[in-house]
Amino acid sequence: MATPLTAARLIAALKAEGVQVVEVGDWRDHNRNHKGPWGPVHGVMIHHTVTRGSARTVELCRRGYSGLPGPLCHGVITKDGRVHLIGYGRANHAGSGDGDVLRAVIAEEALPPDNEQNTDGNRHFYGFECENLGDGEDPWPAAQLEAIEKVGAALARAHGWNERSVIGHLEWQPGKVDPRGFTMNSMRARIAARLDDNNPQQQQEDDVALTDDDIRKLATRDGIFKAPRDAADYNPDPDHPGHWWAFGTHVVGTTSKVRAMEKRLAAMDRKLDQLTDLLQQLANKEK
């Protein structure tokens, strides 16, 4: 779980993993943020498009259609293995899904059956649409499967997640079948193997420095660090504001507790000094 990567850090993470990135139009500012929150993010969701033709597929996912405005994902993975970035922020890709699945993704545990639609997935998942008819017969080229693997590994590596944070749409929302033509278990195995390797391209990349905006978000934004369970307003539901504290809240709370302990220790030291003096006086009287 984490605050979403900035657009700059997102593209840097993908390129560091060896992804062929194509930036499409104003992708950094193309989103549905006016319709709901974006973040905290907990994983990556893979889809298929039910379309043919790379250019048409990318444009459809970028613009959307009358019943579902774009962007319909953050990136489109075409059959040649290129990843076309079309949006950054909230995107119309995941829809409502099973809260139990989200909790399993957060805990990086085996996924339960998806039998409810009670949780906003657009808020919590990066989404990647893959060019494929989804009929079980349209082939998945090796370059495309490798790109899916690299995308999943790149985002997992950037956030410190494992392969269980990468799921398919069919594992999130009842009735969905995508991606069809390969199994998500096989893809997660590929991602796990990649994460276990020391990726030389990753090692050669310079570290991406935090921007002032990143630091402000870490210090002030809820949805990044869990609240302590003994907090008065703590709520176990990750979608409830009481589940999270801002980093600044943690720092202030910790500082207050440390200062209170210092005062108690100082008071105890004074009492010990008084007790020592009293014992010394008693010892002198006995002499």
- Residues 77-105: tens digit of each pLDDT: 999 999 999 999 999 999 999 999 999 99
Q: How far apart are CA 58 and CA 60, in angstroms?
A: 6
What is the residue type of 81?
G
- Residues 173-223: tens digit of each pLDDT: 999 999 999 999 999 999 999 999 865 454 445 556 677 776 666 665 555
Q: Where are the domains of the chain?
A: 7-208, 210-287
- Tell me if the domain spanning 7-208 has CATH number 3.40.1160.10: no
What are the residues whose beta carbons fall under 8 Å from the beta carbon of 46, sequence distance 6 or more? 128, 130, 148, 152, 166, 167, 168, 169, 178, 179, 184, 187
The pLDDT, as a whole number, for residue 76 is: 99
Burial group, residue 107, by CB count within 10 angstroms (0-12, 13-18, 19+): exposed
Q: Which is higher by pLDDT, 151 or 205?
A: 151
The pLDDT, as a whole number, for residue 268 is: 87
Query: Tokens standing for 105?
Result: 């993704």
Rg of the Cα atoms in the chain: 25
The average confidence (pLDDT) of the chain is: 90
**pLDDT grade, residue 168 (50/70/90)?**
very high
Q: How far apart are CA 140 and CA 130, in angstroms?
A: 9
What are the residues whose beta carbons fall under 8 Å from the beta carbon of 45, sequence distance 6 or more? 93, 94, 121, 125, 126, 127, 128, 167, 168, 169, 172
The continuous run of DSSP H or E covering 74 comes out as none
Q: How far apart are CA 236 and CA 226, in angstroms?
A: 10
Query: What percentage of residues in the chain have a pLDDT greater than 90?
Result: 68
- Please calculate the CA angle 215-160-233 and round it to the nearest 5 degrees: 60
- Residues 62-81: tens digit of each pLDDT: 999 999 999 999 999 999 99
Helices 247-286 and 212-220, axial angle in degrees (round to 10): 60
Return the exposure string of 199-223: e unless at least 16 CB atoms fall within 10 Å of the residue's CB, then b.
Answer: beebeeeeebeeeeebeebeeebbb
